[in-house]
Amino acid sequence: MKRIGMLTSGGDCQALNAAMRGVVKSLINSEEEVEIYGFLNGYKGLIYGDFKMLTGRDFAGILTVGGTILGSSRTPFKTIKDPDENGLDKVEAMKQNYYKLRLDCLVILGGNGTHKTANLLREEGLNVITLPKTIDNDLYGTDMTFGFQSAVDIATECIDCIHTTAASHSRVFIVEVMGHKVGYLTLNAGMAGGADIILIPEIPYDIDKVVEAIKQREERGSRFTIIAVAEGAISKEDAKLSKKEYAKKLEKMPHPSVSYEVAAAIQERTGQEVRVTVPGHTQRGGSPCPYDRVFASRLGAEAGKLILEGEYGFMVGYRNREIVKVPLEDVAGKLKMLDPKATIIQEAKMLGISFGD
């Protein structure tokens, strides 16, 4: 008998259900007797013992369903060791609920913050296996995370739709894509959607260079410009500020986001009309794309294999087109940034895309 706990933590994304389904189906098809405990709303469910027993039937028909049947929430790692409002030791509570249910393993699906807590639980002696979930694709130790490709598809479709209206108007169109710290999503969606300028956090932009690129398009007879902007894009001037200084500036910024700041600067320098579109959380929603369905299922199946073999303390990742197991201590606390010198950046520039640098 294997007793497995499962939870999904952090922001939701496509293919969470597909990944959990992969874990459960691989265990059931092994003919191993299994009990599944689903903790509700992320780590909160593990802390407060909020769970429900699940069977294979609960995972039937969810391959194509977005979101998570277990619910999710954010439980910041920086406060995980702080007592809750009633003085409860959260880490100890998670351990006790794990032991009360006599779990053999805890399967945790999440991104960077989630993996920090997962590694902490591993250090506390719990058997943990994780799966890499985030639309940002910024999780260290894996070339790909599930949810990323689905988000790229949605953001690309948004840029595609902007193209049709752009062709009718002489304007600059900005599409703000999710990504506070890294630019994988914006870069891929921008290239796929034919954006003329792409602004990402890893390459601080010079607004004058952005304006120059727009004017060069005008001189070549182009009536419009499409700019894909990561929500974490930053100017060269702001990149020189300390984190505290930049945080203070953001508090006083008169614009809702960096995209509107860029739009105002372009309009002031060129006199052109600028429109901003923010697809926002639609990038996390809807059904997972076929790639993510397959990818998440593969990751889940490999997680089931690790459970059956009693190998714990790993994230199931993807490197060089192969599913691999990565030690949790190698993942936790690390961010996978986009290298400004990466070949994909150089190739994008060869295609005539400006990064404002």
**Which residues are known to be catalytic?**
136
- Geometric angle at alpha carbon 109, from 108 and 113, rounded to 5°: 90
Residues 234 and 202 sit within 8 Å (Cβ to Cβ)? no
Closest CA to 16 of 233, 357, 227, 293: 293
- Crossing angle of helices 258-270 and 207-219, in 10° steps, is 50
Does an H or E element contain 110, and which? strand 105-110
CB-neighbour burial class of residue 283 (10 A; exposed 0-12, middle 13-18, buried 19+) = buried
Q: Tell me the pairing of strands 51-54 and 34-39.
A: antiparallel
Task: Measure the CA–CA gap between 102 and 179, rounded to whole angstroms.
Answer: 39
201: Cβ–Cβ under 8 A, 6 or more apart, which residues? 179, 180, 181, 182, 183, 230, 232, 233, 234
**Max Cα distance, the chain (Å):** 71
C-beta of residue 34 within 8 angstroms of C-beta of residue 2 = yes
Q: Which amino acid, one-letter code, is at 334? A: K
Of 229, 222, 219, the C-alpha closest to 193 is 229
- Say how far apart CA 133 and CA 37 lie, in whole Å: 20
d(CA 129, CA 109): 9
Angle at 204 between CA 201 and CA 210, to 5 degrees: 115
Q: How far apart are CA 294 and CA 289, in angstroms?
A: 9
